[in-house]
Amino acid sequence: MMKKTYGILPRLFQRKQYSFILIATFMLGVQFIWAQNPLVRDQYTADPTARVFNDKIYVYPSHDIMCTEEKGRPGWFCMEDYHVFSSENLTEWKDHGEILNQKDVFWADDEGYSMWAPDCVEKDGKYYFYFPTKPKDTEGFTIGVAVGDNPEGPFTPQEKPIANVNGIDPNVFIDSDGQAYLYWSGRDIWVAKLKPNMLELASEPQIIANLPQEGHKEGPFVFERNGIYYLTYPHVENKTERLEYAMGDSPMGPFKVTGVIMDESPTGCWTNHHSILDYKDQWYLFYHHNDLSPDFDKNRSIRADSLSFNADGTIKKVIPTLRGIGINKASGKLQIDRYSAKSANAVLHFNNSQNTFEGWNIALNQNDWVQYNAVDFDKTYASLAMRVNATEKSQLQIVDTTKNTILAEIEIPGNTGWLEYEAALPQIEPAVYNLKVVLKAGEASIDWIRFKS
Ligand code: FUB
């Protein structure tokens, strides 16, 4: 049972003098564990293809970097390599490092910086990593394959790209009868069967019919659910790409354009690129915006949100969130600025606008609040800690909205800069809770909150 905890502040004062002020954090000991959107915060990532291998999710994104006069074409996309990320619990993502670099691809232009949206599939214990890039001897893009024994690589590129394919954004779908199909884009969306070796086409490329003719489209991603084949793709209906889908009875179509999965990005990012998968009986949409680079949309960041279907198999529109997916451990740093909901006047700021990889905080005025859902209290926690910067003497209340109980109240002295504060907790019954932080008085910004045993 949770106890009412009014009066926790005086108890803190009795226990330890000034125990509420702990350590100035100075951004030391940063944990490279991210649970919310964007999923990766120490580098730019885009075009995420998520796959389930060996009960884990592996995400194969593009790796955006900044072009310079010496590297690529300034103001445009710049990508020289790929990393892969994995997670079992959707909240802790491991970067397995570089899995392929343009300089390792014999046929690729090693000044191309065009290692665009990839895919990876498993067949008979081998992992096939498909990637588009510029070849050294011809114009345009083509698609290569690199093969590995593990989902995290290493991957060895084939000596030549796939013959008879010109385009970008490879996607491979393996049907239940074992037949694999390669989809890609190049003005239209194309499909061809793959041979059992997964390295060569088994049929002539054909354009998928009945898709929108006006407005750029690219990034095909095909999946099957309950006998329905879904062809999903970004398409510019208005100003920037939105995610749309078409439904059909077979992997090669015909498909019928059915609806929109995600509207144009509210951040103005011109591209979006996605994948859809079922993991432990929940469907997820992986996609990208440009959270870490609001002024330049060629440095993007991957995200994920839950996706669901209507009874007739149509897809419910996904509204992008900052909270993202997964249940967070109460003991980890909960980046509360990646909120589930907030009051209208609560405002997000970068911790350091010169280095956006340092993340965000949320600024609250009196009566503002920020809510963060799905926090797993797996055991009893004795105290909570939060990183706060108050410009005036402030009072914060931490509430469990599931049972509407006040867990703690913290008083913060004004003008101390960013500091870590701590408050004792009542006995909290282990369960998953939704938390809300309310600023009862003053003016304060919050970076994160965590619970300690
Ligand atoms: O990342 C480069 C290109 O931008 C991708 O290949 C497209 O799908 C778009 O996201």
Phi, psi of 10 (to 5 degrees): -60, -40
Cα(317)–Cα(138) distance, rounded to whole angstroms? 40
pTM for this entry: 0.92
Q: Which atom of ligand 1 is nearest to 169's Cα?
A: 6
| Whether the Cβ atoms of residue 166 and residue 205 lie closer than 8 Å to each other | no
pLDDT surpasses 60 at 304: yes
Residues with CB under 6 A from ligand 1: 46-47, 62, 77, 116-117, 168-169, 218-219, 271, 273
Residue ranges per structural domain of the chain: 2-29+327-452, 37-307
| Fold category of 37-307 in CATH | Tachylectin-2; Chain A (2.115.10)
Mean pLDDT on 298-317 = 98
Give the number of other Cβ atoms within 10 Å of residue 24's Cβ. Answer: 13
Q: Which atom of ligand 1 is nearest to 288's Cα?
A: 10
64 is an active site residue: yes
pLDDT, mean over the chain: 92
Q: Name the residue at shortest CA distance from atom 1 of ligand 1.
A: 116
Centre of ligand 1 to C-alpha 298, Å, is 9
218 is an active site residue: yes
pLDDT surpasses 90 at 5: no
pLDDT surpasses 90 at 31: no
Cα(206)–Cα(75) distance, rounded to whole angstroms? 33
pLDDT surpasses 60 at 56: yes
- Sort strands 328-329 and 369-377 into parallel, antiparallel or unpaired: parallel
pLDDT surpasses 80 at 133: yes
CA angle 184, 265, 221 (to 5 degrees): 20
Q: Which atom of ligand 1 is nearest to 272's Cα?
A: 10
* Residue 34: per-residue pLDDT: 56
Phi, psi of 26 (to 5 degrees): 50, 20
* Residue 29: per-residue pLDDT: 33
- Superfamily, domain 2-29+327-452: Galactose-binding domain-like (2.60.120.260)
**In this predicted model, what pLDDT tens digit does every residue of 381-422 receive, in sequence order?**
999 999 999 999 999 999 999 889 999 999 999 998 999 999
Q: Dump the DSSP string for 13-64.
A: HHHSTTTTB----TTTT------SSSS--SS--EEEEEEEETTEEEEEEE--
